[in-house]
Amino acid sequence: MSDPRTVSLGLDTFGDVTHDAEGRPLADAATIRNVVDQAVLADEVGLAFFGVGEHHRPEFAISSPEIVLAAAAARTRDIHLGTAVTVLSSDDPVRVYERFATLDAVSNGRAEVILGRGSFIESFPLFGYDLKDYELLFEEKLDLFTRLLEEKPVTWRGRTRAPLESADVFPKTENGLKAWIGVGGTPESVVRAAQHGLGLMLAIIGGPADRFRPLVDLYHRSLASFQRATPPVGVHSPGHIAETDQQAWEEAYPGFESMGNTIGRERGWPPYSRMRFQHDVGPEGAVYAGSPETVARKIADTVRTLGAQRFDLKFSTGTLSHDKLMRSIELYGTKVKPRVEELLAE
């Protein structure tokens, strides 16, 4: 079981384009400014991490997370700032490292990067990459990025970008850059994270948490076989918090329905329904929505089940308004966090 003194609670957002009180979508610019305000509140209520996802589609306003995080860094003091996730496959590892090393400097050592292949594919044609190279792009770029983390001159050759010969990259960080791999549930991705000695961030967006316990066990076995240290295990799951279960569910459902149907039309899923939502917020689902007590108990159960060291709540889904997101953050920090710590200490 995880030591409650080492379990930290964070937040993730994709910068979902929210609606105003009249139900009209906000401008992307307003959504981005709101995300910075959300990070500031997260810091004020004592949360450990604020993550911003990278997307290149109309439902999400943030395509350059590091710039948003740098703005948040200037207005926060303690909270760690990172991505959820950075799509490394369609970016350049050298530039990713340089941007996050710069963020680490302006935030006084609070930068983290969560690397992933991306569950959306818009960035690949946008930046000129062929989807048939999906696996190769991530494998090679991750190999190069982990070498850059050592902050020494790098010699590297591959098929997906120009070679490097004793290349030194700047700026250097003061204490190193913390990096994770975001994993959707494939054993190959888990072994890859262990091979490179990076933290494992499990994106659990469907089903019960105990379904992922074999992957955590595989991760620890793989770390041992590669003779690696033991980086942390984290969980990323969606949710929403309000004063009561019913209020949280009523507030959250329209956003989940909107996003579920938008993505579902692209991927051939059935229409999202109230029945599906009520299952997802229940014990066997991956949505952490409800009162502070309900959400705290579900998080504590997940942390115990997986031996996780961090839980990141993806607090924005669909069109849920900024004021409700702010209230959810406030309750998460002031009510859920201390209650999770109490439950884990019992």
| CATH label of the domain that carries residue 205 | 3.20.20.30
178 in any annotated domain: yes
Return per-residue pLDDT of the chain as tens, 346 residues: 445 446 899 999 999 999 887 888 999 999 999 999 999 999 999 999 999 999 999 999 999 999 999 999 999 999 999 999 999 999 999 999 999 999 999 999 999 999 998 789 999 999 999 999 999 999 999 999 999 999 999 999 999 999 999 999 999 999 999 999 999 989 999 999 999 999 999 999 999 999 999 999 999 999 999 999 999 999 999 999 999 999 999 999 999 999 999 999 999 999 999 999 999 999 999 999 999 999 999 999 999 999 999 999 999 999 999 999 999 999 999 999 999 999 999 8
287 in any annotated domain: yes
Tens digit of each residue's pLDDT (9 = 90 or more) over 250-308:
999 999 999 999 999 999 999 999 999 999 999 999 999 999 999 999 999 999 999 99
90 in any annotated domain: yes
1 in any annotated domain: no
Identify the domain containing residue 203 by its residue range. Answer: 8-345
Instruction: Give the separation between CA 8 and CA 274, rounded to whole angstroms.
Output: 31
**Helix H or strand E encompassing 307:** none
- Using CA atoms of 83, 332, 105, 67 in order, give the dihedral in degrees to the nearest 10: 50
Segments of 206-340 assigned E as strands: 233-241, 288-290, 310-314
184 in any annotated domain: yes
* Tokens read off for 236: 């990323």
Instruction: Give the separation between CA 131 and CA 135, rounded to whole angstroms.
Output: 9
3 in any annotated domain: no
Q: Which pTM value belongs to this model?
A: 0.96
Location of structure tokens 């983390």: 149
Total domains in the fold of the chain: 1
336 in any annotated domain: yes
166 Cβ neighbours under 8 A, 6+ residues apart: 153, 154, 155
Residue 9: which of 79, 77, 68 has the closest Cα?
A: 79
2 in any annotated domain: no
111 Cβ neighbours under 8 A, 6+ residues apart: 69, 80, 81, 82, 100, 101, 103, 104, 177, 178
Quote the pLDDT of residue 4: 47
